[in-house]
Amino acid sequence: MQTKRMTFPGRFLPYALLAPQVIVTLIFFIWPAGQALYQSLLREDAFGLRTTFVGLENFARLFRDGAYLNSLSVTVVFAVGTTLLSMSVALLLASTVNRMIRSRSTYTTLLVWPYAIAPAIAGVLWWFIFNPSIGIVPYILDMVGYRWNHRTSGADAMTLVILAAAWKQISYNFLFFLAGLQSIPQSLIEAAAIDGASPMKRFWTIVFPLLTPTTFFLMVVNVVYAMFDTFGIIHATTQGGPAQATNTLVYKVYADGFVGLNLGSSAAQSVILMAIVVALTVVQFRFIERRVNY
Amino acid sequence: MVENRPWANFFAHLTLMIGVAVVVFPVYVALVASTQAPGDLLRGTLPMLPGAHGIENFTRMWQSGVSNAGAPPAGMMLWNSFVMAMAITVGKLSISLLSAFAIVYFRFRFRMFFFWLIFITLMLPVEVRIIPTFQVVADLNMLNSFAGLSIPLIASATATFLFRQFFMTIPEEMLEAARVDGAGPLKFFKDILMPLSVTNIAALFVIMFIYGWNQYLWPLLITTDPDYYTIVMGIQRMTSEENPQWHLIMAAVVMAALPPVLVILFMQRLFVKGLTETEK
């Protein structure tokens, strides 16, 4: 890794400058991560009196545990649903805004602010709209003959958390899609128009393929978001229920550790999650390198 | 625009207006709900037009909160959120400016080692290692304190990377000229690097402030004393009650959402810059 050609001399100063960040990192990142790794190999008995070394037993148990496998599939459904919904709405809005000339910045402003809303608050907002007794949407659904109840129906609860998570992420995807669209040379689109391609055809054969790098990048970011940043949405609304229907992996780490007090299992889950984050980060970085050369 | 199609334009505006309406709808509902009298939200469906009790609800929430639901006055929770968000923002910016400066402008032993040490933190969101981090903070006696709320969240590889990238684009001549004039490293940092970085600092400030303000799980775990509740987690305490008082909850929701939304609306350019650069 390069530095400047010319650098400052200094024997202690660089270490002093790095010290604050390195100390915080060691105490609050490296040490807890090491603890999670270590605890994932231990098991405490029911009273917390004796800890025994059990090797990879915690991991083996997890993959035999129906609740954990259920949580894995819940997470996949949730991440795919959130990513698809949020990205397709954002792409539709971004490509429409991109047609506008005078009103572009107004629409942009009106669409970006939900980024600022905390996931937990987004959850509460949608929870309120869909509240079975006083919410507006169940009232409308009731008129068409559907009885909405996210307290008893797992599918309803999943729909609710996906809506809340996707709603909050639209603004982010929108901004990146808009930036991607603006970097597509106008001449390509004009040439296709002269050849008689309709707007739909132009979009699918020229614009969409050229947006692929942005789309891939956003897919990774959205999956990471859905897996890790949506804890607040789940916790503030369904709390993983009904009957584990929205118990995502991140929520389960918390629930098993703090509520269930099963430290070994929770630590093993943490370790698996860390592995997933690392894998996703690697994918993201490798992909970005390619994006530069695009 | 390639061709002029009046109908297409009409549909484009229609699509966008529906999109904006969908995006605004939840917040509109919250605003309406926060202006209703207590009984109005128990009577079947929610009214779609604002009621007359807005000022009353907001004042009540601001001054006294919903104490039986374990939620202190919103004024205090907002202040706590503000202190936490500012501490996280300022902390993150200062430690990453310093370490990026060290990594770019010095050659020293273990430079790569430290760089990777910082890089690794990019991969470990707090939710993933929540229990051991909680144990560390509990051992350090930092539960129920602003230090505990902010310090564990200030290590940020993102900001360090961004500043490193930016410092690399500063012309070599700046440093050469400064050294010829006899400036030491700290003087160079203060009088040349900092003024050049102002826009980047401001853009990151916006992103980090929103990040800090919206923290949820961490404050939820480490504060048991209502004096340290932040607004985002305080709302959850109110909704998990048996008979949630929605008119007051929604007043609190509006108050919790307003500061970061205003930051985005008034600093939109910096926000977009910060967002696109931190994610690259």
Question: What's the pLDDT band for A92 if we cut at 50, 70, 90?
Answer: very high
Distance CA B34, CA A82 (A): 28
The pLDDT value recorded for residue A292 is 41
Residues of B in contact with A253 (CB under 8 A): 127-128, 130-131
How far apart are the CA of A251 and the nearest CA of chain B, in angstroms?
A: 9
Answer whether B131 sits within 8 Å of A253, measured CB to CB: yes
Element holding A125 (H helix, E strand):
helix A119-129
Answer whether A254 sits within 8 Å of B130, measured CB to CB: yes
Q: Residue A105: closest CA among chain B residues belongs to which residue? A: B268
Average pLDDT of span A175-186: 90
Phi, psi of A53 (to 5 degrees): -80, 125
The pLDDT value recorded for residue A287 is 65
Q: Is A142 on the interface with B (CB under 8 A)?
A: no
The pLDDT value recorded for residue B93 is 92
Average of per-residue pLDDT values in chain A: 85
Q: Residue B222: how many CA atoms within 13 Å on its side-chain side?
A: 30
How far apart are the CA of B59 and the nearest CA of chain A, in angstroms?
A: 20
Element holding A43 (H helix, E strand):
strand A42-44
Average pLDDT of span B219-223: 87
Please tell me which of the candidates A107, A112, A253 has its beta carbon nearest to residue B130.
A253
Q: Is A200 on the interface with B (CB under 8 A)?
A: no
Answer whether B2 sits within 8 Å of A281, measured CB to CB: no
Please tell me which of the candidates B104, B263, B279 has its beta carbon nearest to residue A221.
B279
Q: Could you say which architecture CATH assigns to the domain A57-292?
A: Orthogonal Bundle (1.10)
Model pLDDT for residues B71-127, shown as the tens digit of each residue:
788 888 899 999 999 999 999 999 999 999 998 888 888 888 888 888 777 767 777
Answer whether B12 sits within 8 Å of A96, measured CB to CB: yes
Average pLDDT of span B194-209: 90
Q: How many cross-chain Cβ pairs, A to B, lie less than 8 Å apart?
A: 298
A10 Cβ contact partners less than 8 Å away, ≥ 6 residues apart: B106, B108, B185
**Domain ranges across chain B:** 78-232+262-278
Answer whether A274 sits within 8 Å of B129, measured CB to CB: yes
Q: Residue A28: closest CA among chain B residues belongs to which residue? A: B152
Of residues B37 and A233, which shows the higher confidence score?
A: A233
Range of lowest pLDDT (A240-249, B16-25, B259-268): A240-249
Average pLDDT of span A185-206: 88
The pLDDT value recorded for residue A75 is 93
Distance CA B124, CA A273 (A): 9
Mapped onto helix, strand or coil, the DSSP state of residue B71 is strand
The dihedral of CA A46, A51, A54, A60: what is its sign?
A: positive
What CATH code is assigned to B78-232+262-278? 1.10.3720.10
| Residue the block writes with tokens 């990879």 | A56
How far apart are the CA of A185 and the nearest CA of chain B, in angstroms?
A: 12
Of residues B255 and A240, which shows the higher confidence score?
A: B255
The pLDDT value recorded for residue A49 is 66
Whether the CB-CB separation of A271 and A39 falls below 8 Å is answered with no
The pLDDT value recorded for residue A77 is 94
Question: What's the pLDDT band for A91 if we cut at 50, 70, 90?
Answer: very high
Q: Is A167 on the interface with B (CB under 8 A)?
A: yes
The pLDDT value recorded for residue B45 is 65
